[in-house]
Amino acid sequence: MKLMARSDGRSPDQLRPVTITRNWLAHAEGSVLVEFGGTKVLCAATVESGVPRWRKGSGLGWVTAEYAMLPRATNTRGDRESVRGKIGGRTHEISRLIGRSLRACVDYKALGENSIILDCDVLQADGGTRTAAITGAYVALADAVGWMRKKRMCPGDPLVDSVAAVSVGIVGTTPLLDLCYVEDVKAETDMNVVMTGRGAFVEVQGTAEGAPFDRNILDELLDLAAAGCAELTELQKTVLA
């Protein structure tokens, strides 16, 4: 493993400064502004009684997510998906990923026939928007669940674990944790890893952007991600304490 100087001076296994600000919004049942360096995502949790039609009468709850980017979150302005009249493939894919990830720590039965919707809107993007969104959305979800429990809306405690996520990648030949945008663009391999607070995997999505990668590299990236997720889990605990 060759060392490479990172643009912001971090060591390869170092997260960017991460801040999670709770109750950023006045109306939402849970809301968080999460920042991974220059990446800022506003996560709002909405509680609705009732579940989608296909789940009615099951006694089980539901958790889902919608991800989007403000047009000027990025360096050059992107067209609004509302103006184009349809949601792009990337947006769909990330929304589905966030929803799946959060559902991994939810006990549907304890939630009762209620829904929680996590809106993750990227206000500013500098790499890792989906992992920041998952990490922040978990905190918003926890706050929304707290709100529900205070109102005695759910039969039990719907949170069976916590969830955090981080990106890892190979730039040059160096495995790096938590890629910022300029690193992401140069990465040969890019991997997003979602883990529970207890250290189990929820999602592993690795993609060879450049050269295909071998098993050793995959192992190194998984180690790096596991350490990063553990650190984020600690931060979530501190923030929610």
Binding residues for phosphate: 90, 128-130
Q: Give, rounded to a whole angstrom, the gap between the first and last alpha carbons of the chain.
A: 38
Annotated binding site: 90, 128-130
Residues interacting with a second copy, by CB under 8 A?
25-28, 31, 38, 42, 44, 46, 48, 66, 68, 70-75, 77, 80-93, 95-96, 100, 104, 117, 119, 121, 123-124, 126, 161, 191, 195-196, 198-208, 211-215, 218, 222, 226
Which residues does 235 contact at the CB level (< 8 Å), separation at least 6? 18, 20
Return the closest-CA partner of residue 31 out of 158, 147, 115: 147
Closer residue to a second copy in complex, CB, 11/34: 34
Closer residue to a second copy in complex, CB, 122/171: 122
Torsion angles phi and psi, residue 100, rounded to 5: -60, -45
How near is the Cβ of 16 to a second copy at its closest, in Å? Answer: 14
Pairing of strands 62-69, 114-124: parallel
How near is the Cβ of 39 to a second copy at its closest, in Å? Answer: 10
How near is the Cβ of 76 to a second copy at its closest, in Å? Answer: 8
Q: What is the dihedral of CA 224, 124, 129, 101, to 10 degrees?
A: 120
Closer residue to a second copy in complex, CB, 20/33: 33
| Rounded Cα distance, 25 and 8, in Å | 31
Closer residue to a second copy in complex, CB, 11/90: 90
Closer residue to a second copy in complex, CB, 123/235: 123
How near is the Cβ of 223 to a second copy at its closest, in Å? Answer: 9
Return the closest-CA partner of residue 151 out of 229, 81, 49, 226: 49
How near is the Cβ of 46 to a second copy at its closest, in Å? Answer: 4
Q: Which two tokens stand for residue 90?
A: 């990337």
**Contact yes or no for 151/29 (Cβ under 8 A):** no
Residue 82, beta-bridge partner list: none
